Amino acid sequence: MVSTLFASLLAPLGPGGAGTVSDVAWWVHNLVVLTFMNLLPLSKHFHVVTSIPNVFFSKLEPAGALSKQDLESEDAIYGTSQMRHFNWKQVLDMYSCTECGRCASQCPATATGKPLAPRQLMLDLRDALYEHPEMVLDEANETKVVSENIISDEVLWSCTTCRACEEACPVMIEYVDKIVDMRRYLVQEEARFPTELTKAFQGMERQGNPWGIGADKRADWAQGLNVPLLAENPEAEYLLFVGCAGSFDDRAQKITQALAKILEAGGVSYAILGRDEPCNGDTARRLGNEYLYQTMAAMAVETFTGMNVKKVITNCPHCYNTIKNEFPQFGGDYEVVHAADLVADLIKRGKLKLSGDGGGGTVVFHDSCYLGRYNDVYESPREILAALAGVEVVEAERSRSTGMCCGAGGGRMWIEEDPSQRVNTLRVEQLLETKAGTIASACPYCMTMLDDGVKSKSLEDEVQTRDLMELVAGSLDT
Ligand code: SF4
Ligand code: SF4
């Protein structure tokens, strides 16, 4: 119809005149396209060009595997402080942001009024690139992007590494890698970090765990229980990797005891390392202390190899993620299973006899970021809850891939939070909107944060916080 209209307008010009108009239109069209193409790289619309390659080149490795930093070669750098320290893909990310704001709308740091807003972080890096492109090209340029003017320390320490921003981003921009790379610079080159972290780092350096408790206390939780040691049961099929929280934290010890009870009831062949269990170093890595992490991970792999470990069960999503996705960087390849997957399977195969309701009622499940978003374990926790008699499962508005962090990830468990900006309080409010009587989780770190959140609202008499393992153990037909 449009062509017919133009044909009638051009008809009076005859074939020659119409041909001239066609030639002019062709040149104008191409000039406009070429001019726009030249201006694009200089404008904020460059993402039109870069976003498709950015998606194409997005990370193929597991989301939970941070890069293994080269700390030994002569030209090794100990973290990212300048623009030229970012790799080409990280720079492509900066040019690819469409400024849609989906990332910031999901970020727990932004939601609680902290100085971090992921979109702004990306735009600040991009704007710095536009203003000073020589920062990438000129080897002699020493301008720091980690500075009060561009990316401040407070912005970097606000991140819980929850990946909600990355999950939301339509062009698959990655944040956690850049934030941890810049934390590596702060910790390893400048020793600039929140003072509270000194204790956690010292605990890991001296006692091999962020709690700083002696290894002789690691298996105290197992006293009076029939828990086998791997040294005495080398034929055990699984190593139960308890983790530092499950070993040393009073509340988490109860969860470990519940898991041991379930494994015994389900006839699972397992054993623990006891006082020989090493910390896997996840906390050190997320906090930017890559040197410490690499030392701890290498030691853990050596211990596993010495004990001929092939299969690992753990109830801690942080241990699960680093043993499964990051230990292969140190030559440690294991079949790693989270307790939720294992127990859901035991229930399906009729290996556990469940009768009681475990004190359930209406239960809302809080997805741990390192179990869900990082490792796609969403179904088994819900299958476990569905198998418990008397439990009605309700979902929070933010759940599964859009679930909100409890606030403990990325080492923030060890950083003091302003009471008015607590992520755990906000998360508990979201979960309580469901009117559930029980908040369930599958992570000892989440449990600490949820417990504190419920207590901060003085609701501990009305709302229970339970790990899935406690609910199942409480339902076992003994
Ligand atoms: S990882 Fe989580 S806390 Fe960090 S910027 Fe992304 S959404 Fe915010
Ligand atoms: S979601 Fe992605 S594209 Fe949108 S503002 Fe955030 S980083 Fe940019």
Average pLDDT over residues 428-435: 98
Distant-in-sequence contacts of 344-347, Cβ < 8 A, 24+ apart = 344/379, 344/380, 344/381, 344/383, 344/384, 344/387, 345/380, 346/262, 346/266, 346/268, 347/383, 347/384, 347/387, 347/472
Three-state SS for 470? helix
pLDDT confidence of residue 136? 83
- With tokens 């740091």, the residue in question is 109
pLDDT in tens, 405-427: 999 999 999 999 998 999 999 99
Percent of the chain whose predicted confidence (pLDDT) is above 70: 99
pLDDT in tens, 96-129: 999 999 999 999 999 999 999 999 999 999 999 9
pLDDT confidence of residue 458? 97
Distance (Å, rounded) from C-alpha 272 to C-alpha 135?
51
Indicate whether residue 317 lines ligand 1 (CB < 6 A). Answer: no
Task: Kindly tell me if the per-residue pLDDT of 441 is higher than 60.
Answer: yes
pLDDT in tens, 77-101: 999 999 999 999 999 999 999 999 9
Q: Whose CA is nearest to atom 7 of ligand 1?
A: 107
Confidence of residue 355 (pLDDT cuts 50, 70, 90): confident
Rounded to a whole number of angstroms, the distance between the first and last alpha carbons of the chain is 79
Average pLDDT over residues 449-470: 97
How far apart are the CA of 34 and the centre of ligand 1, in A?
38
Each domain of the chain, given as residue ranges in start order, spans: 49-193, 211-347, 353-475
pLDDT in tens, 177-201: 999 999 999 999 999 999 999 999 9
Average pLDDT over residues 19-30: 92
Task: Kindly tell me if the per-residue pLDDT of 360 is higher than 90.
Answer: no
Ligand nearest to the CA of 116: 1
pLDDT in tens, 269-321: 999 999 999 999 999 999 999 999 999 999 999 999 999 999 999 999 999 99
Q: Residue 330 CB: number of other CB atoms within 10 A? A: 17
How far apart are the CA of 174 and the centre of ligand 1, in A?
10
Task: Kindly tell me if the per-residue pLDDT of 451 is higher than 60.
Answer: yes
Q: Whose CA is nearest to atom 5 of ligand 1?
A: 118
Q: Which amino acid is at 80?
A: T
Mean residue pLDDT across the chain = 95
Ligand 2 site-directed mutation target among 50, 58, 92, 102, most atoms within 8 Å of CB: 102
**Regarding predicted confidence, which is higher, 386 or 10?**
386
Write down the pTM of the prediction: 0.93
Ligand 1 site-directed mutation target among 107, 173, 398, most atoms within 8 Å of CB: 107
Distance (Å, rounded) from C-alpha 325 to C-alpha 334?
10
pLDDT confidence of residue 135? 87
Architecture in CATH of 49-193: Orthogonal Bundle (1.10)
Instruction: Specify whether domain 353-475 bears CATH 3.40.50.10700.
Output: yes
Query: Does this chain's domain 211-347 share its CATH topology with 353-475?
Result: yes
Nearest ligand 1 atom to alpha carbon 164: 7
Q: What angle do CA 18, 22, 23 make, to 5 degrees?
A: 120
Residue 268 parent element (H or E): none
How far apart are the CA of 117 and the centre of ligand 2, in A?
11
Task: For the domain covering 211-347, report its CATH number.
Answer: 3.40.50
